[in-house]
Amino acid sequence: MAKILVTGGCGYIGSHTIVDLVEHGYECVSVDNYLNSDPSVLEQIASITGKKVKNYPVDLVNKEALKEVFKQEDIYAIIHFAALKAVGESVEKPLLYYRNNIEGQINLLECALQNNIYHFIFSSSCTVYGQSDHLPVTEETPIAKAESPYGYTKQVCERIIEDSIRNKEMNACLLRYFNPAGAHDSLQLGESPINPPMNLIPVITEVGIGSRPELKVFGSDYETRDGSCVRDYIHVMDLANAHTKSLQYLESKNVDFGDAEVFNLGTGEGTTVLEAINSWEEVSGEKLNYSIVDRREGDIPAIFADYSKAKESLGWDPKRGIGDIMKTAWGWEKIRRENIVK
């Protein structure tokens, strides 16, 4: 059976997507250099699905090693997650981000075009929209000038895919994620970054468990319902399932070869930072230690998705809300902490 190549398959969204793909009967193989992930994720995937997935510890920038993977494996579709994703680090080290995210993807596309890969799914971000005047944002919302090198790599990588598959026997989906969070319902899999997380929900759970002293709420003077920023948090398993649905959509030839289709993946519900804290307090029954500090540079006041295109075309509808996200994120954090203490 031909396989799906998942790049970054040991990372947060990649690993959850492999679980969803395997549960829908797909065979997967991963390429992940473990820069911000750990091989033990493969055991967690096996324990949930009962299937072992092989990972090649290859960096996409190493084209010769990547070519070998395509020689070894019979691949017909690619889901591409592997990338650096820390906004602040990208400002400090732009060339690292450009080389890793852009050159890595060029190598991958060259291998894909040489090896008759029919379908390509790309992990993009709502960061491409910047702050829009109109909310919720649709796929028609104009792309804004990127705030960071990281954001620019997402814009460029989308464009590179569109340009390089034109007139080729390949179709693509460009998936613009809103704010992914939460863990697998079994609590055997969740976010396990090597670098300290900067995103709101893992920071909340780390403060809750005591591995960080407090949460700094970046700004309470935004023009939002409680003064803190609004984001659209999407449960990682809902997001994972959107990849399976996108693959089925590409396979059913709903997208002509040569075309790339964009989808927003969010819930359509905005949550403020203070509401997210409140949700954690409800789920845990505890009080979170937090303080209000200045705004974080580069933060936009509010964004949430219009996902009606994904609903209509992919038949995708997120099933979980902020409460489910917090419940699984918190459950996962507690288990991780127990394992670290052991």
Q: Which of 146, 160, 203, 288 binds ligand UD1 (CB under 6 A)?
A: 203
**Contacts (CB under 6 A) with ligand UD1, residues 56-75:** none
Distance CA(234)–CA(308), nearest Å, equals: 15
Cis peptide before 136 (omega within 30 of 0): yes
Q: Which residues pair with 56 in a beta bridge?
A: 31
**Closest Cα partner for 44 from 198, 214, 189, 231?**
189
Q: Does 100 bind ligand UD1 (CB under 6 A)?
A: no
Inter-residue contact 120 to 168 (CB < 8 Å)? no
Cβ 75 to ligand UD1 shortest distance, Å: 27
- In the complex with ligand UD1, the residue whose CB is nearer, 138 or 155, is 155
Q: Is 216 in the site for ligand UD1 (CB under 6 A)?
A: yes
- Integer Rg of the chain from CA: 19
Query: Does 187 engage in binding with ligand UD1 (CB under 6 A)?
Result: no
Q: For residues 127 and 241, which CB has a smaller minimum distance to ligand UD1 in the complex?
A: 127
12-23 and 40-49 are packed helices; what angle lies between their axes, rounded to 10 degrees?
Answer: 30
Q: Is 269 in the site for ligand UD1 (CB under 6 A)?
A: no
For ligand UD1, which stretch binds (CB under 6 A), given 22-30, 129-137, 195-203, 239-247? 195-203
Our CA angle for 195, 201, 206, nearest 5°, is: 60
User: Which residue of the set 12, 26, 97, 150 is catalytic?
Assistant: 150
- Interaction of residue 217 with ligand UD1, rule CB under 6 A: yes
Per CB under 6 A, contacts with ligand UD1 among 292-311 are: 296, 298-299
d(CA 309, CA 200): 27
Give the DSSP letter string of 127-188: GGG-S-SSSSB-TTSPPPPPSSHHHHHHHHHHHHHHHHHTTSS-EEEEEEE-EEE---TTSS
199 binds ligand UD1 (CB under 6 A): yes
Site pattern 7..46 for ligand UD1 (x: CB under 6 A): ----------------------------------------
Segment 124-183, which members bind ligand UD1 (CB under 6 A)? 125, 127, 151, 179-180
Cα dihedral sign, 117-119-124-130: positive
Number of chain positions touching ligand UD1 (CB under 6 A): 20
Residue 200 as a binder of ligand UD1 (CB under 6 A): the answer is yes
Minimal distance in Å, beta carbon 197 to ligand UD1? 8
Q: Choose between 238 and 255: whose C-beta lies nearer to ligand UD1.
A: 238
**H helix runs in the chain, sequence order:** 12-23, 40-49, 63-72, 87-92, 94-97, 104-114, 149-165, 200-209, 236-251, 273-284, 308-314, 322-341
Smallest distance, Å, CB 187 to ligand UD1? 21
The pair of structure tokens assigned to 298 is 């580069």
Is there a catalytic annotation at residue 307? no
Report in angstroms the alpha-carbon separations of 112 from 31, 254, 312. 14, 20, 29
Q: Phi, psi at residue 315, to the nearest 5°?
A: 70, 30
Question: What is the spatial distance between Cα 291 and Cα 48, in angstroms, rounded to a whole number?
Answer: 38
Q: Which stretch binds ligand UD1 (CB under 6 A): 60-68, 72-80, 197-205, 331-339?
A: 197-205
Question: Closest separation between CB of residue 253 and ligand UD1, Å?
Answer: 31
- Does residue 87 interact with ligand UD1 by CB under 6 A? yes
Cβ proximity to ligand UD1, 144 vs 203, nearer residue: 203
Instruction: Tell me if 271 contacts ligand UD1 by CB under 6 A.
Output: no
Phi, psi dihedrals of residue 90, rounded to the nearest 5°:
-65, -30
We find the least distance from the C-beta atom of residue 250 to ligand UD1, in angstroms, to be: 23
- Residues forming the site for ligand UD1 (CB under 6 A): 87, 125, 127, 151, 179-180, 198-200, 203, 215-218, 229, 231, 273, 296, 298-299
Catalytic sites, residue numbers: 150
